[in-house]
Amino acid sequence: MANRSDTKTRILDAAEKLFAERGFSETSLRLITSKAEVNLASVNYHFGSKKELIRAVLARYLDRFMPEASNAVVQLKQGSEPSLNEIFSSLVKPLLELNKFKADGTRTFLQLLGRGYIESQGHLRWFITTHYGEHLSEFVKAVAESAPHIPPAEMFWRLHFTLGTVVFTMASADALTEIAEADFNEHNDIEAVIRKVIPYLAAGVAVPVTTQ
């Protein structure tokens, strides 16, 4: 095949789709390169290793999402005392912006995030907090200020419960929207699902701590 300067992009595009659908360890470089229509060895040539390819796939989304998200939160706080619902809702636009970067980008990003958290044995968590720590803490700070009655340790857990809800829901969103349509004649796109989950999350995060 003739020279093609977009080999790296073709690999990233094929890899992110397959990683999101099947997970990282279940996706072989041979499958990626065949879908991308590039040579098997080009992954190691351009990225060094499979591990570094995974990081590159994640970084391409995080570099777009994280600054926009923290920016949205900061801007929201310019006004007066945003509610939890408003803080979560401020992430909707940055999330949906990813659909302009790539078709189905929002879902792909959230699925990659979930896969990464579960498969990488804590490595992704370290990667995100070290590379996007300032952006993250803007969000965490806003949430904490908006629910001052929740102690920090409890908030840590609730934010991870929240992450789990989002990530799992988005990973199975296809199947769920199908069932919802069949059983309740209710059609939901990805944005509709996001708007359904926000009140659920906000209620859980803010519920008073019981010392039963």
Please give the residue ranges that form the binding site for its own copies (CB under 8 A): 22-23, 25-26, 114, 117-119, 121-122, 125, 152-154, 156-158, 160-169, 171-172, 175-176, 179-180, 183-184, 186, 193, 196-197, 199-207, 209-210
Please tell me the distance from the alpha carbon of residue 21 to that of residue 130, in angstroms, as a whole number.
26
Q: Which residue, 16 or 138, has its beta carbon nearer to DNA? A: 16
Q: Which does 50 bind (CB under 5 to 8 A by kind): its own copies, DNA, none?
A: DNA
Q: Which residue, 48 or 199, has its beta carbon nearer to its own copies? A: 199
Q: Is the dihedral of CA 70, 71, 72, 76 positive or negative?
A: positive
CB neighbours of residue 56 within 10 Å: 17
Q: Does 3 bind DNA (CB under 7 A)?
A: yes
Q: Which does 167 bind (CB under 5 to 8 A by kind): its own copies, DNA, none?
A: its own copies
CB neighbours of residue 198 within 10 Å: 19
Q: Which residue, 42 or 169, has its beta carbon nearer to DNA? A: 42
Those residues with Cβ within 8 angstroms of residue 183's Cβ, 6 or more apart along the chain or in another chain: none
Q: Which does 38 bind (CB under 5 to 8 A by kind): DNA, its own copies, none?
A: DNA
Say which amino acid occupies 27. Answer: T
Contact 173, 107 (CB under 8 A): yes
Q: Which does 180 bind (CB under 5 to 8 A by kind): its own copies, DNA, none?
A: its own copies
Helices marked H in 147-189 — which ranges? 152-171, 173-184
* Residue 7-46 contact track with DNA, rule CB under 7 A, x = bound: x-------------------xxxxx------xxxxxxxxx
Q: Which does 78 bind (CB under 5 to 8 A by kind): its own copies, DNA, none?
A: none
What torsion do the CA atoms of 83, 86, 91, 97 make, to the nearest 10 degrees?
A: -160
Q: Which residue, 98 or 194, has its beta carbon nearer to its own copies? A: 194
- Residue 45's nearest CA partner among 17, 14, 8, 1 is 8
Residues near DNA, by CB under 7 A:
1-5, 7, 27-31, 38-46, 49-51
